[in-house]
Amino acid sequence: MPTLEHPIPKSIFLILDDLDDARAVQQGLAVLTSKTFVIEWARTLAEGMQRLSRQASEVESKLLAVVLDLELPDSHGIETFERLFALAPHTPFLVLSTSRFEATARLAITAGAQDYLLKSRLNDYTLPKALSSMIERAANAEALFQAKETAELTLNSMGDAVIRTDPSGRLTYLNAAAERLTGFTQLQADQKTLDLILPLIDGLSRVPLANPMMAAMAANEAIRLTTNALLLRADGSEAAIEDSAAPIHDRRGLTIGAVMVLRDVSGARAQSLKMTHQAQHDSLTDLPNRALLHERLTQAISTASSAGHPLALLFLDVDRFKHINDSLGHDMADQLLRSVAERLLACVRTTDTVSRQGGDEFVVLLPSVLGEADTTVFAERILEAISAPHRIGEREVHVTVSIGIVLYPDHGGDAETLLQNADGAMYRAKDQGRNNYQFFRLDMYAKAAERQLLESDLRHMLERREVVLHYQPIVDLKTHTIVAAEALIRWRHPRRGLVPPSQFIPVAEHSGQIKAIGRWVLREACRQARVWQDADLPAIRIAVNISAADLCARDFVGCVRATLEETGLAAHHLELELTETFLMQEAAATADVLHAFKQMGVHLALDDFGTGYSSLSYMRSFPIDTLKIDQSFVRDITTDASDAGIVNAVISMGKTLGRRVVAEGVETAEQLAFLKQHHCTEAQGHYFSEAIAAADFAVLLRLGRIEPKPTPDADALPREDSAPAQSYCSSVRPCTQILEKLR
Binding site partner of 42, from ligand C2E, Mg ion, none, Cβ cut-off 5-8 A by kind:
none
Stretch that binds Mg ion, among 188-196, 213-221, 514-522, 601-609 (CB under 5 A): 601-609
Nearest in space to 209 (alpha carbons), one of 192, 193, 191, 227: 227
Q: Does 690 bind Mg ion (CB under 5 A)?
A: no
* The residue type at 386: I
User: Which of ligand C2E, Mg ion, none has residue 547 at its interface (CB below 5 to 8 Å by kind)?
Assistant: ligand C2E
**665 lies in the site for ligand C2E, by CB under 6 A:** yes
Q: Residue length, the chain?
A: 743
Any residues with CB less than 8 A from the CB of 214 and at least 6 apart, and which?
169, 194, 258
User: What does the DSSP assignment read for 97-116?
Assistant: E-GGGHHHHHHHHHTT--EE
- Near ligand C2E in 571-600, by CB under 6 A: 577
Nearest of 628, 602, 646, 614 to residue 682 by alpha carbon? 628
Using the minimum distance from each CB to Mg ion, give the nearer residue, 186 or 632: 632
Q: Is the separation of the CB atoms in 290 and 355 below 8 Å?
A: yes
**Residues ≥6 apart with Cβ < 8 Å to 239:** 181, 230, 231, 233, 264, 266
Please pick, from the candidates 157, 220, 278, 731, the single residue that binds ligand C2E as defined by CB under 6 A: 731
Q: Is 711 in the site for ligand C2E (CB under 6 A)?
A: no
Give the binding range for Mg ion (CB under 5 A) out of 159-167, 568-576, 599-607, 704-712: 599-607
489 touches ligand C2E (CB under 6 A): yes
Give the footprint of Mg ion on residues 530-559 (CB under 5 A).
545
Nearer to ligand C2E, 28 or 734 (CB): 734
Helix (H) or strand (E) holding 662: strand 660-663
Closer by beta carbon to ligand C2E, 242 or else 696:
696
Count the Cβ atoms, other than its own, within 10 Å of residue 334. Answer: 15
Phi and psi, residue 338, nearest 5°? -65, -40
**Between 173 and 520, CB nearer to ligand C2E:** 520
Q: Does 608 bind Mg ion (CB under 5 A)?
A: yes
State phi, psi for 543 to the nearest 5 degrees. Answer: -100, 130
Q: Is 629 in the site for ligand C2E (CB under 6 A)?
A: no
Interaction of residue 475 with ligand C2E, rule CB under 6 A: no
The entry of Mg ion, ligand C2E, none near residue 247 (CB within 5 to 8 angstroms by kind) is none
Cβ proximity to Mg ion: between 352 and 607 the closer is 607
Interface pattern 531-570 for ligand C2E (x via CB under 6 A): --------------x-x-----------------------
Q: Does 577 bind Mg ion (CB under 5 A)?
A: yes
User: Which of 343/733 has CB closer to Mg ion?
Assistant: 733
Which range, of 67-75, 580-588, 594-602, 663-671, touches ligand C2E by CB under 6 A? 663-671
Q: Are the CB atoms for 206 and 177 separated by under 8 Å?
A: no
Contact 548, 582 (CB under 8 A): yes
Residue whose C-alpha is closest to residue 64's, from 93, 105, 85, 29: 93
Among 395, 312, 390, which residue's Cα sits nearest to residue 354?
312
Q: How far is the CB of 606 from Mg ion (least distance, A)?
A: 9
N- to C-terminal Cα distance for the chain? Answer: 124
Interaction between residue 626 and ligand C2E (CB under 6 A) = no
Taking contact as CB under 6 A, which single stretch among the options 48-56, 207-215, 564-572, 685-693 is the one that binds ligand C2E? Answer: 685-693
685 binds ligand C2E (CB under 6 A): yes
Q: By CB under 6 A, name the one of 122, 521, 647, 675 that touches ligand C2E.
A: 521
Residue 209 CB contacts under 8 Å (≥ 6 apart), including other chains: 200, 201, 202, 225, 226, 229
Report, in Å, the least distance between residue 671 CB and ligand C2E: 9
Torsion-angle region of residue 597: left (phi > 0), alpha (psi -120 to 50) or beta? alpha
Binding site for ligand C2E (CB under 6 A): 472, 488-489, 500-502, 505, 518, 521, 545, 547, 577, 607-608, 631, 664-667, 684-686, 691, 731
